[in-house]
Amino acid sequence: MMKSQGQKRMKKKLTRQAMKGMTGLLLVVIAYIATPFAWGLTYGKGYTKEEQGKMKIIAHRGGAALAPENTLACFCKGIEAGADMIELDIHLTKDGEIVVCHDQTVDRTTDGTGKIRDLTLQQIRQLHVVDADGNLTDEHLPAMQEVFDLVGQARSEGSSCGILIEIKRTRNIYQGIEEKLLQQISDNGARDWVIVQSFNDFALEKIHQLDPDIRLEKLVFCKPLGLPFVIDGWGMSWFSFKKYDYVRSFNFECHGLSKSLLEKIHSHGKEVKVWTLDGPETAPHLDVDGIITNRPDLWQH
């Protein structure tokens, strides 16, 4: 009996030690992955007007600080602010229509509830967008075609604004979204003023397979030092410049990019954009090619 109790105590002790070891290892891994973010906090702040003029200014979700995000009103604000591009996010409805929204559900941004993939476009059109303070507006989640119409009209009136489209995608949802998007790009004569980006490699590879001439950009949170992978979305992807030879730009979270990696990317002939920023005075100073910002009105261009 005594031996059995001793064995139990020993087993508990070993279990506690193992848990402590696993916790310590996890903390080390987290600290290692977070290293680029620590570097980012040490960078100088601000850009001169001359530096701003050399970069592409992209209105994040249309310019999310100017109007309710990812709405036609917000896209108008972004265009009026002189953004080179408006950035937006797309999903596929239950009846196979492309709709613009950041989240997979309508819960946060509208007065409705539910996953976009479980709702029809008609059901989504009946919902009203709420602003940042939770107030109902007259805005609705737009169909992608409405955005093509809006930007196309602005371009016909002299604007040079384009669209940076993020595909929200996994292998299991939104089957066929790439084909539908490419068809809309073709139907609207938008090949020269549309760029597609995604965290998801499958979506990027599918677009490239279907139409190698569409400009593609890879979204990244950070790349741990010395390791052959990147943190993208909630997962990780193996990384090499050969793998992403078809990608024209790597778009990083603004604190997740080291200067040495930036220089290496540039040396391979690729561009770099950073997200998500407000005004230039508080932005980490990096020699990037584009700024994705909630306040395009604050950037000189």
Render the burial of 167-199: b for 16+ CB within 10 Å, e for the rest: bbbeeeebeebbebbbebbeebebeebbbbbbb
Q: Do residues 39 and 228 make contact, with C-beta atoms less than 8 angstroms apart?
A: no
Q: Nearest CA to 62 among 89, 44, 35, 39?
A: 89
- The catalytic residue among 102, 128, 208, 301 is 102
- Other CB atoms within 10 Å distance of the CB of residue 200: 22
* Residue for token pair 């003023």: 193
Amino acid at 51: E
Contact call for residues 79 and 96 (beta carbons, < 8 A)? no
Alpha carbon separation from 64 to 60, 131, 172, 277 (Å, rounded): 6, 10, 29, 11
Q: Is the peptide bond before 282 cis (omega within 30 degrees of 0)?
A: no
Gap between the Cα atoms of 217 and 195, Å rounded: 7
Known catalytic residue at 128: no
Q: Is-contact 128 137, C-beta < 8 A?
A: yes
d(CA 163, CA 58): 9
Q: Residue 243 and residue 275: Cα distance in Å, rounded?
A: 23
Nearest to 301 by CA among 160, 202, 165: 160
CB 300 within 8 A of CB 52: yes
Catalytic-residue membership of 60 = yes
Active-site residue list: 60, 102
